[in-house]
Amino acid sequence: PEDCIKLNPDYIRSFQFESKLMPSTWIVIRIDGCHFHRFSENHEFDKPNDKQALDLMNLCAAAVLEEFQDIIFSYGVSDEYSFVLKKDSQLYQRRASEIVSAIVSFFSSMYVMKWKDVFPEKELKYPPYFDGRAVCYPSNEILRDYLAWRQVDCHINNQYNTCFWNLVKSGKSKSETQSYLKGTQAREKNELLLKEFGIDYNMLPLMFRQGSSIFRVETENSSILASGNSVGKAQTKIVTEYCNIIEQSFWEAHPQLGL
Ligand code: ATP
Ligand code: ATP
Ligand code: MG
Ligand code: MG
Ligand code: MG
């Protein structure tokens, strides 16, 4: 170690590279469970949708919003969650690797910590882990398109998976079911569910069909100070909704999000 003291730290640091996210743009961190197809089988998740597993994802996401104040909105489906940081966020000076790694590791820790709360009867057999990426979206419109893309994906996958698992549970093999469903349109899938299984797709839980949105809302709290002065203090709380985020009306109803 004595010899190493001569080394110039600037020289060593020169090998590090900092990738900073573009200023004044929305930052989206999307995390996704690694090998959750297998994880969900090993932990006997209900198919196509395990409500408790989705509740667990939502608890973890709400905890992320509590921890990272710059996140204004998040959207989750299946084993993934997208977190939207405000445009002017200076979290980790906008260095992508730090932001992504901090959120991903916080989420994974939460998932393990909260497991027993959601699945009191089920043992967590091995540690789940998530990957994450950061993407910048330069305008409100493009960010809304991004979120719409995730919600459309939720709808398409849920419709497919609902057909798939009902067919499999009725005795068809998985490969048979796959080829049977290949190329079918949305309308045909809805008809199949109704005719074969008496399921009205539009009556399935909103959480499964729309995914989960967790975001901040302002609550106007009037607190009385010791002096007797009343001040209106804007406070925020975190809410979970299963709603349509593709329609403009959602964003109009929540102007505090700035979208
Ligand atoms: P990768 O590591 O590439 O992300 P993956 O196996 O996690 O692979 P995904 O495309 O991310 O694949 O899909 C996640 C899978 O996890 C779903 O296809 C589904 O099988 C399962 N899954 C996740 N959440 C649930 C849930 N709430 N209920 C039932 N199954 C779930
Ligand atoms: P940042 O979030 O910027 O990394 P930090 O509080 O984690 O801030 P570090 O510079 O990473 O600060 O230093 C880690 C600190 O954690 C140490 O200064 C020490 O106080 C504490 N710490 C870590 N490991 C140990 C340990 N094994 N025993 C005692 N203290 C420890
Ligand atoms: Mg992945
Ligand atoms: Mg995955
Ligand atoms: Mg996924």
Structure confidence at residue 227 (pLDDT): 54
User: Does ligand 1 come within 6 angstroms of the Cβ of 151?
Assistant: no
For residue 92, the enclosing domain spans: 18-149+205-212
Q: Is residue 125 part of a domain?
A: yes
Contacts of 184 (CB under 8 A, 6+ apart): 163, 192
Q: Is residue 33 part of a domain?
A: yes
Q: Is residue 94 part of a domain?
A: yes
Provide the domain count of the chain.
1
Q: What is the pLDDT of residues 166-196, one digit of tens each?
A: 999 999 999 999 999 999 999 999 999 999 9
Q: Is residue 218 part of a domain?
A: no
151 closest CA partner among 217, 72, 207: 207
ipTM for this prediction? 0.96
Contacts of 40 (CB under 8 A, 6+ apart): 47, 50, 53, 79
Question: Residue 135 belongs to a domain with what CATH number?
Answer: 3.30.70.3000
Position with higher pLDDT, 236 vs 69:
69
Q: Which atom of ligand 1 is nearest to the CA of 80?
A: 11
Please say whether the beta carbons of 47 and 174 come within 8 A: no
Q: Is residue 179 part of a domain?
A: no
Judge if the upstream peptide bond of residue 255 is cis by omega within 30 degrees of 0.
Answer: no
pLDDT grade for 226, boundaries at 50, 70 and 90: low
Contacts of 252 (CB under 8 A, 6+ apart): none
pLDDT grade for 51, boundaries at 50, 70 and 90: very high
Q: Is pLDDT at 219 greater than 90 in this prediction? A: no
Structure confidence at residue 20 (pLDDT): 96
Q: Is pLDDT at 221 greater than 80 in this prediction? A: no
**Nearest protein Cα to ligand 1, atom 21:** 37
User: Does ligand 1 come within 6 angstroms of the Cβ of 51?
Assistant: no
Position with higher pLDDT, 94 vs 14:
94
User: Does ligand 1 come within 6 angstroms of the Cβ of 35?
Assistant: yes
Q: Is residue 171 part of a domain?
A: no
User: Does ligand 1 come within 6 angstroms of the Cβ of 160?
Assistant: no
Please say whether the beta carbons of 232 and 222 come within 8 A: yes
Q: Is residue 142 part of a domain?
A: yes
Within 13 A of 231's CA, how many CA atoms are on the CB side?
A: 7
Centroid of ligand 2 to alpha carbon of 57 (angstroms): 29
Structure confidence at residue 44 (pLDDT): 98
Q: Is pLDDT at 2 greater than 90 in this prediction? A: no
CA 57 to chain centre: 8
Give me the chain's average pLDDT, please.
Answer: 94
Contacts of 75 (CB under 8 A, 6+ apart): 81, 82, 147, 150, 151, 211, 212, 213, 214, 245
